[in-house]
């Protein structure tokens, strides 16, 4: 597939979500991603329901596109030798095992860089390559708790809540793809390969602002603010006569216009309320006024009124609303791919607009081991040699 990463070859040993998302983003941009799975396959394939025809889960479809797939048993000597043959010709090796597993398999960075000094080796882990918790198992849910994200999500009444999306995995995939791209750029300039590491924990902690910045400034642990912003007022969710909407104010003209439309011009005229610091001191009073006024009219009417004054606002959409939204549709954020077993499969588009990337060029997530024979043939193995590997269950 054409794209800015065309002609780069990536060996993708990752499973579950964070690592496969990273390689998917690179595949979207044209890289030749070879997903190397164990003979049993990526366990994310069975993380359902729902499942598509053919047995793969919708979850697996999230990060499986634009890849080829082969299965190798890396716990065998022949399997490791086969992988090293592939790695000698790869631009990137990407893995998300626990730290130390690649070394135990005999295919760690020290081994790989000897056979391919220009390779980029990318390791994605839960807690980091080194440190006291390096070997602990980690899934998205675990990191949401450990990183402090849950402690600042929800309300004082609800207690800590898990944010809906798999945010640790999503950030991990983005950060890993970013790190690999930077390392490839560095190699273009210097000719040198390197090892890059990303941890889900670091990604989560790095995005804790503004709460963590407040804590660093005054040592106070911020309270959970629910749908309201912990610092900016007004900045949150309010019930209208027929649905929930978000409203935010950032300037004095916006504040005055908001108060006028809500029938509370005295709030807009109050100079103390012309700064966020002043409004923050009267948070409950302001939110109470807004809640009472907004509940009197339908949401669509408020959205139309606020738009006239450039007041930031939005309906709180459900996923059907998002899918049908004209701006989301215009941005082409949902695309269809032709899957050989499941038929038409709808997936999320890549949000990057680096260049025109036609969905017609994208390939659906491969079946387990779908491309094993073709890839081995590309590396010079004869049909008889490949058959022997199948017979010995080295590949699948």
Give residue-wise pLDDT tens across range 93-147: 999 999 999 999 999 999 999 999 999 999 999 999 999 999 999 999 999 999 9
- Give the Cβ contact number of residue 304 at 10 Å: 11
Distance, CA of 331 to chain centre: 19
For residues 247 and 236, give the distance between their C-alpha atoms in angstroms, rounded to a whole number.
6
Q: Within 13 Å of residue 77, how many CA atoms lie on the same side as its CB?
A: 0
**In this predicted structure, what is the pLDDT of residue 273?**
96
> In whole angstroms, how far apart are CA 208 and each of 150, 203, 247, 280, 299?
11, 9, 22, 21, 31
Distance spanning both ends of the chain, measured CA to CA: 25
- Residue numbers of the chain with a pLDDT score lower than 70: 1, 355-360
DSSP string, 114-179: HH-TT-EEEEEESS-SSSTTTTS---HHHHHHHTSTGGGSSBTTT-S---SS-HHHHHHHHHHHHH
How many residues would you count in the chain? 396
Write out the two tokens for 331: 């941005």
Residue 55, SS3 per DSSP: coil
Task: Please give the DSSP secondary-structure letter assigned to residue 208.
Answer: -
Domains of the chain by start residue, with CATH: 9-206+333-391 (3.40.50.10540), 235-316 (3.30.1540.10)
**In this predicted structure, what is the pLDDT of residue 240?**
97
Write out the two tokens for 168: 């640790």
> In whole angstroms, how far apart are CA 1 and each of 7, 31, 32, 62, 360?
9, 8, 8, 19, 10
Task: Identify the H or E element spanning 35.
Answer: strand 32-37
Say whether 242 is catalytic: no
**In this predicted structure, what is the pLDDT of residue 335?**
87
Write out the two tokens for 36: 């190397």
For residues 271 and 268, give the distance between their C-alpha atoms in angstroms, rounded to a whole number.
8
Predicted TM-score (pTM) of the model is: 0.91
Q: What is the pLDDT of residues 288-343, one digit of tens each?
A: 999 999 999 999 999 999 999 999 999 999 999 999 999 999 999 998 888 888 88
For residues 286 and 247, give the distance between their C-alpha atoms in angstroms, rounded to a whole number.
13
> Burial code of 233-257, b = ≥16 C-beta within 10 A, e = fewer?
bbbbebebeeeebebbbeeeebbbb
Its sign, for the CA torsion 384, 390, 394, 396, is positive
> In whole angstroms, how far apart are CA 96 and each of 71, 101, 321, 363?
17, 9, 35, 23
Write out the two tokens for 119: 């390779």
Closest listed residue to residue 57, CA positions, set 371, 348, 365, 369: 365
Write out the two tokens for 395: 């590949």
**In this predicted structure, what is the pLDDT of residue 338?**
87
Write out the two tokens for 355: 């260049």
Residue 60, SS3 per DSSP: helix
For residues 309 and 260, give the distance between their C-alpha atoms in angstroms, rounded to a whole number.
11
> In whole angstroms, how far apart are CA 26 and each of 16, 191, 217, 316, 354?
17, 20, 38, 32, 12
**In this predicted structure, what is the pLDDT of residue 356?**
57
Of the candidates 28, 32, 56, 169, the residue annotated as catalytic is 169
Task: Please give the DSSP secondary-structure letter assigned to residue 199.
Answer: E
For residues 332 and 326, give the distance between their C-alpha atoms in angstroms, rounded to a whole number.
10
Closest listed residue to residue 35, CA positions, set 9, 59, 2, 6: 9
For residues 125 and 95, give the distance between their C-alpha atoms in angstroms, rounded to a whole number.
9
């Amino acid at each position: 597939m054409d794209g800015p990463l065309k002609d780069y070859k990536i060996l993708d040993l990752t499973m579950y979500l964070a690592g496969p998302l990273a390689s998917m983003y690179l595949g979207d941009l044209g890289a030749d991603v070879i997903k190397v799975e164990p003979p049993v396959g990526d366990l994310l394939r069975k993380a359902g329901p729902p499942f598509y025809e053919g047995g793969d889960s919708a979850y697996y479809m999230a990060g499986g596109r634009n890849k080829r797939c082969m299965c190798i048993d890396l716990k065998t000597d022949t399997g490791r030798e086969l992988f090293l043959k592939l790695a000698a010709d790869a631009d990137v090796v990407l893995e998300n095992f626990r730290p130390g597993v690649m070394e135990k398999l005999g295919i760690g960075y020290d081994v790989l860089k000897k056979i391919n000094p220009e390779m980029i080796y990318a390791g994605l882990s839960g807690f980091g390559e080194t440190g006291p918790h390096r070997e602990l198992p980690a899934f998205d849910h675990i990191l949401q708790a450990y990183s402090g994200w849950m402690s600042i999500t929800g309300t004082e009444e609800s207690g800590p809540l898990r944010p809906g999306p798999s945010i640790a995995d999503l950030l991990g995939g983005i950060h890993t793809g970013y790190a690999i791209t930077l390392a490839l750029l560095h190699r273009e300039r210097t000719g040198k390969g390197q090892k890059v590491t990303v941890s889900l924990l670091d990604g989560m902690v790095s995005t804790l602002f503004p709460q963590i910045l407040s804590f660093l400034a005054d040592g106070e642990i911020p309270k959970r603010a629910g749908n309201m912003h912990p610092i900016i007022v007004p900045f949150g969710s309010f019930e209208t006569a027929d649905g929930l909407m978000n409203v935010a104010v950032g300037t004095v003209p916006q504040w005055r216009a908001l108060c006028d439309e809500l029938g509370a011009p005295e709030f807009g005229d109050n100079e103390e309320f012309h700064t966020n610091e002043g409004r923050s001191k009267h948070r409950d009073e302001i939110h109470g006024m807004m809640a009472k006024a907004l509940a009197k009219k339908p949401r669509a009417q408020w959205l139309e009124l606020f738009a006239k004054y450039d007041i930031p606002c939005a309906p709180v959409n459900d996923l059907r609303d998002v899918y049908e939204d004209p701006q989301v549709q215009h941005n082409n954020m949902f695309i269809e791919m032709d899957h050989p077993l499941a038929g038409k499969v709808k997936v999320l588009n890549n949000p990057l607009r680096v260049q025109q990337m036609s969905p017609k060029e994208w390939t659906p997530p491969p079946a387990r081991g779908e491309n094993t024979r073709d890839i081995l043939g590309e590396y010079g193995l004869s049909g008889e040699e490949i058959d022997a590997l199948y017979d010995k269950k080295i590949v699948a």
